[in-house]
Structure 1
Amino acid sequence: MSEHVLNVGVVGCAAIARRTTLPALAAEPSVRLVAVASRSREKAEDVARTFGCEAITGYAALLARDDIDAVYVPLPPALHAEWVARALAAGKHVLSEKPCVTSRAEAAELVGAARDAGLLLMENFAFLHHGQHDAVRALVDAGAIGEPRHLGAEFAFPPLPDADIRYDPALGGGALLDAGVYTLRAASLYLGPEVAVHGAVLRDDPATGVDVAGAALVADPAGRTGQLTFGFDRSYRCACTLWGSEGSITLDRAFTAPPGLRPVLRLVRQDHVEERTLPAGHQFASLVARFARTVLDGGDFKGPGEDILRQAELVGAVRAAAGREAVC
């Protein structure tokens, strides 16, 4: 590994990778995108041409390369545990597409393996790295809405094409693992690491068996609450509202602000409504830069692992509260 550049490979050619994280990896000065792997040679070559790297057939072949220091894993959720584990065993740092795992047991195994090997394992929640959330927290810290009391987080969109992998239970499909995880991560961000699930509902599609919508009630030990709603069965909504004793703050593109968008923050107080247009931000570029600098500078490897464990616990708690399975 060069002192100033992280050599990265990509395990899979998912559409989300091509739209978001692969362009960010290719553009980041502290990253050298070495290769991309697919089970299909044709697909690997197509993606490699687009991003100026080498095409590799087969994920294992990429992990065997000694000129790759870290990998990005954008496979379907049910495949993450195997290939993240294999990447860590091969001595690679890992940026995993969300959700990194489908269970608390997988999270414990992978986070433990990363710690034992002294490797960074990070989950790709890019929205956390957009400046609009820094703006919200700065206003809260300045007392703009008084004491925070409640979080509303919503992420939903219209039905997907029938062949979409998110309708396949064997691949880790379902709205909770696709959209609900964003709202749960927002709850940890704004209500703190001790937030817990107190109730949940999941609604299944009888044709596929996956959950297509859901909601959860969460709260922290101080009694601050959160109402989380998610699904792919309704019109698009992607918002967070933090409601306090003296006002509220709302972001309308809380999770998916594209690079050119200048987000609008809405601040409401008694007899006062204000809309602030915030600077544009590239959340995927910011996340990739953070991942690379953490590895190159020997930063905090423990924190991202704790985030993965806590997130997996919340997902398991939603399932348990909805009557789907015991917390494990």
Structure 2
Amino acid sequence: MTDRVLRTGVLGCAAIARRTTLPALAADPSVRLVAVASRSRAKAEDVARAFGCEAVTGYAELLARDDIDAVYVPLPPALHTEWVGRALAAGKHVLAEKPLTTNLADAAELVAAARTAGLLLMENFAFLHHGQHDAVRALVDEGAIGEVRHLTAEFGFPPLPSGDIRYDPALGGGALLDAGVYTLRAASLYLGPETGVHGAVLRTDPGTGVDTAGAALVADPAGRTGQLSFGFDRAYRCAVTLWGSEGTLTLDRAFTAPPTLRPVLRLTRQDLTEERTLPAGHQFGSLISHFARTALDGGDLKTPGEDLLRQATLVDAVRQAAGG
């Protein structure tokens, strides 16, 4: 393990950054949070005070610094292609808020740039780093529910304030890019990398022009299926269920487990219903640790790029199946 630290900057002061990823960056001993940039000097200074780093006015100013090795990019999705690209061109490793881009073509361009430069490019799907998913995979491997036949993944929440960027199509708004991407990533996690989209529906709000809800049918080459549902027009739900030949496994906080929560894993078989309370886990802390360790130690740079391309392929496929 290296004794060096990853000198990190942040492009933007989004609420998700302040609430989740910035605290994890500030707390990780393998990271030194150097600076945060905003177009607004006052906003940058406010965030910098909260996290003990320097305020920078303008994203380009931060990228020009030679005391920063990596950046976290929590900008709206439609701005990622430009600023992730500029960060890679400046020689910085990048952790981008999900989704990396709004389409496959832009994602492929960024992945190619990262590969050419020998830099780490990762998407911020923190739930993948929570131990509850390790527990599910371990039980599947043990045969606890027999052979997996079907996945159900659901992520939805009530309507957002009217001025929220997720209602702005020019910024990459919409439920697919906000909530739906989690369900697609879960499908790849549990059904495998060859999972494809076989049907989809997106419901568009005529007032804003963005999709506020949707669903997709996915399957792997062996015929294992998945039903994905998402939206920001409904009661909160954040669940994954694996349905096997001999039982089911369910997580009720599959994507958003806070650090203090001890998740409950429910195992149901014909003659058994069992609830297992799992250890709490800091999924953002674990993701930041993994990102920093990979960047510092020259770890696997190939797999994150493959994951990004697979995810962007699925997003484009949902749009196409839903009629474009």
Q: TM-score, normalised by structure 1?
A: 0.98
Q: What does 1:38-187 align with in structure 2 at a 5 Å threshold? A: 38-187=38-187
Gaps in structure 1 of 5+ consecutive residues: none
Separation in 2 of the partners of 1:3 and 1:246? Answer: 48
Letter in 2 for 1:159: P
Q: Counterpart of 2:268?
A: 268
Give the deviation of 1:87 after TM superposition.
Answer: 0.1
Letter in 1 for 2:139: L
Does the 8 Å contact 1:266/1:275 carry over to 2?
Answer: yes
Per-residue deviation, residues 132-156 of structure 1 (Å, max 9, x unmatched): 0000000000000000000000000
Does the 8 Å contact 1:88/1:117 carry over to 2?
Answer: yes
Separation in 1 of the partners of 2:102 and 2:171? Answer: 10
Q: Secondary structure at the match of 1:138?
A: helix
Letter in 2 for 1:253: R
Aligned length: 323
Does the 8 Å contact 1:266/1:274 carry over to 2?
Answer: yes
Letter in 1 for 2:26: A
Separation in 2 of the partners of 1:115 and 1:25? Answer: 24
Q: Counterpart of 2:304?
A: 304
Letter in 2 for 1:280: A
Separation in 2 of the partners of 1:207 and 1:276? Answer: 44
Q: Secondary structure at the match of 2:193?
A: coil
Separation in 2 of the partners of 1:271 and 1:188? Answer: 30
Separation in 2 of the partners of 1:100 and 1:281? Answer: 25
Give the deviation of 1:3 after TM superposition.
Answer: 5.2
Q: Counterpart of 2:279?
A: 279
Letter in 2 for 1:71: V
Q: Secondary structure at the match of 1:181?
A: helix
Separation in 2 of the partners of 1:12 and 1:121? Answer: 17
Per-residue deviation, residues 79-118 of structure 1 (Å, max 9, x unmatched): 0010000000000000000001111101110000000000
Q: Secondary structure at the match of 2:163?
A: coil
Q: Secondary structure at the match of 2:66?
A: coil
Q: Secondary structure at the match of 2:201?
A: strand
Q: Secondary structure at the match of 2:249?
A: strand
Does the 8 Å contact 1:6/1:292 carry over to 2?
Answer: yes
Q: Secondary structure at the match of 2:133?
A: helix
Q: Counterpart of 1:322?
A: 322
Q: Secondary structure at the match of 1:95?
A: strand
1:193 aligns with 2:188: no
Give the deviation of 1:260 after TM superposition.
Answer: 0.2
Q: Counterpart of 1:293?
A: 293
Gaps in structure 2 of 5+ consecutive residues: none
Let me know the Cα RMSD of the aligned residues: 0.6
Does the 8 Å contact 1:71/1:92 carry over to 2?
Answer: yes
Give the deviation of 1:4 after TM superposition.
Answer: 1.5
Q: Secondary structure at the match of 2:319?
A: helix
Give the deviation of 1:21 after TM superposition.
Answer: 0.2
Separation in 1 of the partners of 2:109 and 2:308? Answer: 11
Report the identity percentage.
Answer: 84
Does the 8 Å contact 1:3/1:296 carry over to 2?
Answer: no
Q: Counterpart of 2:254?
A: 254
1:25 aligns with 2:25: yes
1:34 aligns with 2:34: yes
1:245 aligns with 2:245: yes
Letter in 2 for 1:24: A
Letter in 1 for 2:301: F
Q: Secondary structure at the match of 1:256?
A: coil
**Deviating runs (4+, > 2 A) in structure 1?**
none
Q: TM-score, normalised by structure 2?
A: 0.99
Q: Secondary structure at the match of 1:10?
A: strand
